[in-house]
Structure 1
Amino acid sequence: MAQKRNSHSREPDGFDRAILRIVQQDAKTPQRVVAEAVNLSPAAVQRRITAMEAAGIIARNVAIVDPEALSLAITAIVEVRLRDERAATVDAAKALFRTTMDVQQCYYVTGGISFVLVIISRDMRSYEALTRTLFAENELVADYRTLVALDRVKTETALVIA
């Protein structure tokens, strides 16, 4: 779920960027290991991580779970076109998609489509039930198109940090 971004009170410097490269790959990397890699003390690394969390640069620390391990077999990419693009309609759709647990990612986009969603479901029956609620019986939605992923080739979460 996307979160509102804080206005960052400071620009990350070279040490911050080096720390971010490491913790994006594994947030549980011991601080002494991070400190050695970036040539800082563990205390300095901790202060910088805390400051980046407070500034909203580090938005969350999460565990990335393999959907297959939980028998979540269907990954669907769904293009949704709303009936209109009035602010109230868009805001209502955002609120619905934001609070639906099966919606893993949601993007409000341009180009004739209103939203692109990534939805993870246990099976096609579960996905069908969800589409009835979210799209088919939703007065906000004009139409939708589903692309079912055959394979999750790459699902990277780390950003490229220069």
Structure 2
Amino acid sequence: MPRPSSSPRKLDSFDRAILRIVQRDAKTPQRTIAEAVNLSAAAVQRRIAAMEAAGVIERNVAIVDTKALGMTITSIVEVTLINERPQTVDGAKALFLAAPEVQQCYYVTGGISFVLVIVTDDMIEYEAITRRLFADNEAVSSFRSLIALDRVKAGAEIVVR
């Protein structure tokens, strides 16, 4: 995966317009993007490749309907570690990154250490995950689960100005 340079890439109005389109649907044909932003398809292709190389576009993903897969439990979990030492934090990051049930993970400030989004089939599976990741983890001092009633919005469309 490309890594951005130390200074952010300057985006012009064409780049911003292209990003708005590919964030909504990364499979939009380049000729369709080209017509929408008033460039040639080749220019769109070069700009997308340049944004990928610069790390502006990290990757292309599919947003999955969890209900269609029978995954009925979405939980937002606040995790507090026993301390914020680098070794403790790095260990937690590695554990959460390796857990396929963890869909999103943020190391945060404000009294808690991490906020995670976890998706599972049912509460039995969710309990097993909480035991493995939190209750049996000596680095975790506490955790709190917030079970989502409805997914109102999913995806990561960034407002590109």
TM superposition score normalised by structure 1: 0.95
Post-superposition Cα deviations, 1:25-64, rounded to whole Å, max 9, x if no partner, equal: 0011011110000010000000000000000000001111
Q: Per the alignment, do residues 75 and 4 of structure 1 end up closer, same or farther by CA in structure 2, a change over 3 Å counting?
A: farther
Contact residue 2 and residue 55 of structure 2 kept, 8 A: no
Equivalenced residue count is 160
Q: Which residue type is aligned with residue 37 of structure 1?
A: A
Q: Aligned runs of 1:8-157 on 2, under 5 Å?
A: 10-157=9-156
1:6 to 4, 7, 26: 4
Structure 1 segments of 4+ aligned residues over 3 angstroms from their partners: none
What's the RMSD between the two structures over aligned residues? 1.4
Q: Which residue type is aligned with residue 153 of structure 2?
A: K
Question: Offset of 1:156 from its aligned partner?
Answer: 3.4
Identity %: 67
Q: Which residue type is aligned with residue 109 of structure 1?
A: V
Question: 1 CA distance for matches of 2:124 and 2:42?
Answer: 51
Question: 1 CA distance for matches of 2:157 and 2:3?
Answer: 17
Q: Which residue type is aligned with residue 144 of structure 1?
A: F
Question: 2 CA distance for matches of 1:65 and 1:147?
Answer: 21
Q: Which residue type is aligned with residue 131 of structure 1?
A: T
Structure 1 unmatched ranges of 5 or more: none
Question: Offset of 1:9 from its aligned partner?
Answer: 6.1
TM superposition score normalised by structure 2: 0.96
Post-superposition Cα deviations, 1:119-144, rounded to whole Å, max 9, x if no partner, equal: 00110000000000000000110010
Structure 2 unmatched ranges of 5 or more: none
Question: 2 CA distance for matches of 1:135 and 1:4?
Answer: 32
Contact residue 103 and residue 119 of structure 2 kept, 8 A: yes
Question: 2 CA distance for matches of 1:119 and 1:105?
Answer: 7
The 3-state SS of whatever aligns with 2:62 is: coil
